[in-house]
Amino acid sequence: MKVLVTGGSGFIGRALLERLSNEGGCTLHAAVRRPVSQPVSRVRYVQVADHGPNTVWTNAVSETDVLVHAAARVHVMNDVAADPLAEFRRANVDATLNLGRQAVLAGIRRFVFLSSIKVNGDGTPLGQPYRADDRPAPTDPYGVSKLEAENGLRELMRGTETRLVVIRPVLVYGPAVKANFLTMMRWVHRGVPLPFANIRNKRSFVALDNLVDLIVACCVRGAALDQTFLAADGEDLSTTEILKRIAAAMNQRLMLFPAPIEVMRGVMSLLGKGDLARRLFGSLQVDISKARGVLGWNPPVSVDDALRDTARHFLGTVRR
């Protein structure tokens, strides 16, 4: 089986290639924008200068059985683009559909698309998780672009030999994680006193190894075809709890104190940090029962084990 992974040098793409390379049994190709300094063994890299609406993928998709599309313009807080939706549409819709059309023409049998939980929305009432077959309700340009890409791919592949599988991950963490999760780890490592002692929200996360395991299942199991799955660890944590678990993984003392949540939310909004406030104080839960039931899949790595791996890598970088 030949597998092509776009975004092969990225956080998720590289981890997927390492997993498939270690297991063997596949011919692995990876599409990347620039040369890879530390290539994964047994992977043939195909340099594609621009993963855009007019990119020619002929050489990359030739004789491919499974395509995992992990390349994207990802969600960023405080986006400074003049027209964020137009930028997201170019990268996440137009470019994806261009790839999808060429995948269909090449006769690729399975197209696994990494979408985002942002397609479902930006938050849930406590105890009311998103489910895979809920009606989508994106609230920002990134989520809109991912939904448009999903719908466009379904339309493109309807009645063809190419079958679509969609995976919507929540926030992904693991070794070399960046963005908000890295920020929290830095807070804990520096011993910064944090006003988050009494936050009772619930948020779903997904360890990189768990997401990769689900992607692999979606690459090989027949039951995955034409389905949409949500990806998470199966254990939801409050902001207070995740900080405590990170501290335990680092063997680091954590200093938390209580503060009025609405006051903190208001101050952060005034400072232009409203998106971060929603993540720190709001809930976003997902139900992974569809993946369990349809695929027989369960997250193989516990939250604490995944956090220890993440912390070990982080501490190795800060001590250099």
- Residue 106 inside a domain? The answer is yes
End-to-end CA, the chain: 40
151 burial level (CB within 10 Å; 0-12, 13-18, 19+): middle
Tally of domains within the chain: 1
pLDDT at residue 139, rounded to an integer: 94
103: in domain = yes
Pairing of strands 163-169, 171-173: unpaired
Residue 76 has pLDDT above 80, yes or no: no
Specify if 241 maps to a domain. Answer: no
Task: Answer whether residue 56 is part of any domain.
Answer: yes
Annotated active-site residue 173? The verdict is no
Measured between alpha carbons, how far is 59 from 36 in angstroms, rounded to an integer?
Answer: 19
Residue 133 has pLDDT above 70, yes or no: yes
| Residue 318 confidence class, pLDDT cut points 50, 70, 90 | confident
Residue 90 domain flag: yes
- Angle, alpha carbons 161-165-171 (nearest 5°): 160
Q: What is the pLDDT of residues 228-256, one digit of tens each?
A: 999 999 999 999 999 999 999 999 999 99
Q: Range of 51's domain?
A: 2-173+206-233+285-300
Inside any domain, residue 105: yes
Strand order in the sheet with 2-6: 43-47, 27-32, 2-6, 66-69, 110-114, 163-169, 228-231
Looking at every residue in the chain, the average pLDDT score rounds to 94
pLDDT digits (tens, 9 = 90+) for 14-73: 999 999 999 988 999 999 988 998 999 999 999 887 778 889 998 889 999 999 999 988
User: Is residue 251 situated within a structural domain?
Assistant: no
**Residues whose CB falls within 8 Å of the CB of residue 201, separated by 6 or more in sequence, listed in order:** 126, 238, 239, 281, 282, 283
Mean pLDDT on 159-181? 96
Residue 215 domain flag: yes
pLDDT at 79: 58
Quick: pLDDT tens for 196-219. 999 999 999 999 999 999 999 999
CB-based contact 70:16 (threshold 8 Å): yes
Which pTM does this prediction carry?
Answer: 0.95
CATH number at residue 58: 3.40.50.720
Catalytic residue among 45, 130, 142, 173: 142
